[in-house]
Amino acid sequence: MKQRLLELLGVEFPIIEGGMAYIGDGRLAAAVSNAGAFGQVGSAGRTLQDFEKQIQIAIESTNKPVGVNLPIGEHSDPRERVEMILKYKQHLRAVSISAGNPRPFIPVFQEAGLPVMVVISTAMHAQKAEAAGADILIAEGFEAGGHNGPSEVTTFALIPQAASAVNVPVIAAGGVADGRGLAAALALGAAGVQLGTRLAATVESPAHEQYKQALVAARAEDTTMIERSVGRVTRVLKSPYVAEVLAFERTQPSPDELYPFIKGEKNSIGALQGDLQHGFAYGGQGVGLIHSIPTVEDVISSMVEEARRTLQNLPTL
């Protein structure tokens, strides 16, 4: 499965960049691809014009395979983004779909020659996505930063169950931030891993320096969940603003009442402006393994080397 993943994505290492809202820009995607992994331009939090600009930056900044992420539920009408992706299909290697029903979009991208990755959070969802034609599954555990599946299945439990349920490559996401996580994911049956929070804290990341330093300082228990009061689960860094959101959620607001507090602009304030007094920033539980702000190349190379050492040094039973 790992070899199949590498062939589908055309990469050297079984590591992909998650589709991070605001953070997953063209420069970061190109840096990930140049390091031998698979970079993706995220469309969440972007206007259609900026999405195109970031795709252009990515394909102009690397001659390695690069892709895009389309969170369906984040856009009132995803068709414009779909058309934009198809416009650049000759320059893209694959598309990942999240936050919505991928079934109508899978054949559209595949007919354009683009393999499709689908984000899932349970083994049942994995089977449904495979039946719908997904080429690769991104199994995202509850540890991950950002929006998570409502079933709240952890990565360690999800990966072997999903891998046993399907016959396509499964990528482990959620809580992975170093080579030990990559080695563990492979041992659990995954073909590779997806990184989000770890890549947000890199030199090439567009995240504000205050956000990056918050990631370095945070422990796993410094993340929490918001939006539970309206049936969603979103993992973020604890902050003064998040404390206010949670206090408001305890009053049981309606979705419309809560929306002004959790809309994308509030994420932009935290992530791009570094203002955690007036906005929030995503962070997965793997944040406790982040102690510096290296280059993307250093992250990927050290992760691969540590995974190799870990697998080689495992004692025999």
Domains of the chain: 2-206+298-313 (3.20.20.70), 209-285 (no CATH)
Give mean pLDDT, residues 87-111.
94
Per residue in 197-229, pLDDT (tens digit) is: 999 999 999 999 999 999 999 999 999 999 999
Give mean pLDDT, residues 1-23.
94
CA dihedral 95, 99, 101, 102 (to 10 degrees): 10
Per residue in 282-314, pLDDT (tens digit) is: 999 999 999 999 999 999 999 999 999 999 998
Give mean pLDDT, residues 50-77.
93
- Return the pLDDT at 129: 96
Quote the CA–CA distance of 308 and 288 in Å, as a whole number: 22
CA 108 to chain centre: 22
Q: Residue 70: left (phi > 0), alpha (psi -120 to 50), or beta?
A: beta
Quote the CA–CA distance of 264 and 104 in Å, as a whole number: 25
- Return the pLDDT at 169: 97
Q: What does pTM read for this prediction? A: 0.94
- Return the pLDDT at 133: 96
> 73 falls in which pLDDT band (50, 70, 90)?
confident
**Is residue 45 exposed (0-12), middle (13-18) or buried (19+ Cβ within 10 Å)?**
buried
